[in-house]
Amino acid sequence: MKFIWAFISLLIAGVALVSLRPDMFPYVSDFVLITPIAQIMSMRFWIGAVLIFSAVVLAVFALVRYKLLNMGRIAGLLALVLFVGSFGQFGVLIARGVAHPSQLAPDRGVSFTSPGNGEITVLSYNTLGGKTTTEQIVQLVEDNGVDVVVLPETGHKRGQDIVRRLAEHGMSFQQFDTHTSEYDPEFRSTLLLVSTALGEYEQTNDAPVDSAAVSARPVDGNGPELIGVHPIAPLPALMDQWRAETYAVYSQCDKTNFIMAGDFNSTIDHQLAHGFSCGDGARDAGSGAVGTWPLTTPALLSAPIDRVLHDGQHFQGTDAAVVQVGESDHRGLLVRLGPTK
């Protein structure tokens, strides 16, 4: 029996340690993309919390057995490993960034009057069909000097209203979207709004198919390709579709000179499990572990599934803020990207 418990303890310890970077182990990363591990890996804080709670319980159990029966060494060793695993989980979160400012610093980047220092400010906000309203989006854009807006679950007509209201505030934006029928639910529609301060853009057909995605590129070829995405959520009945859509989204990481934002319904762990490496604007700026969903839990305990990615060569995140306005079930993500050259 002792050997059985030792084997079980080794198995649990191995899982706890491998979960820190599952993408580094052959075949293990595949499990990150299946139910229920795909859903669990989105919530690293809670993994750490469960590990540390289990470690405390095991440590007490081991101590009692040792005092009464001179046994419990295996449980004690497992408790130690779980403590290490829990601190490792929190260490991963800290390394990805837990800074949570309420707003961005003053904008000194691209504007309608000058190129400034070349910084581009991006806003990604899943509005839940307008639960975060036009006026609230306009206010965020104006207050933060936003140049690129990605709005998953937001319909074409609502986008036109936002563009019109921005124009009334002296800000000119171009609108691109997924051409979703007005009779379809808004959750199938994604908007991409681009400031004319970045130059003239045109919509392309390069966006990932079936991922509620939209892309646009500069007409003169001078500037980044802009991509807005919203793959389906990882519901147990839709996992094959989720894997296909998130793979298609993260395959954009192979491009050069791009900015991709939206509700990814996945985190950096799923990205790495798919085998792709992208620059992460929020992580660059020290906020990569701050969660955006669900709104019902504090940001540091939520899943960072709304993201702003880049190719890692032309840009680097210099500032980031997770914000909440309106009644969407998501928080919004503001990221400022500075040129690396």
CATH, domain range 120-339: 3.60.10.10
H-helix or E-strand spanning residue 316: strand 315-323
Buried b (16+ CB within 10 A) or exposed e, 35-55: eebbeebbbbbebbebbbebb
Question: 205: helix, coil or strand?
Answer: coil
- Per-domain boundaries in the chain: 1-96, 120-339
Q: What is the pLDDT of residue 167?
A: 98
- Within 8 A by CB and 6+ apart from 152, the residues are 124, 125, 126, 127, 187, 189, 190, 212, 228, 229, 230, 262, 263
Local confidence pLDDT in tens for the 341 residues of the chain: 667 777 777 888 788 888 899 998 888 889 999 999 999 999 999 999 999 999 999 999 999 987 888 777 888 888 998 999 999 999 999 999 999 998 999 999 988 888 899 999 999 999 999 999 999 999 999 999 999 999 999 999 999 999 999 999 999 999 999 998 887 888 899 999 999 999 999 999 989 878 899 999 999 999 999 999 999 999 999 999 999 999 999 999 999 999 999 999 999 999 999 999 999 999 999 999 999 999 999 999 999 999 999 999 999 999 999 999 999 999 999 999 999 97
pTM score, whole prediction: 0.94
Token digits of residue 214:
């939209």
Tell the burial category of 227 from Cβ atoms under 10 Å away from its Cβ (0-12, 13-18, 19+): buried
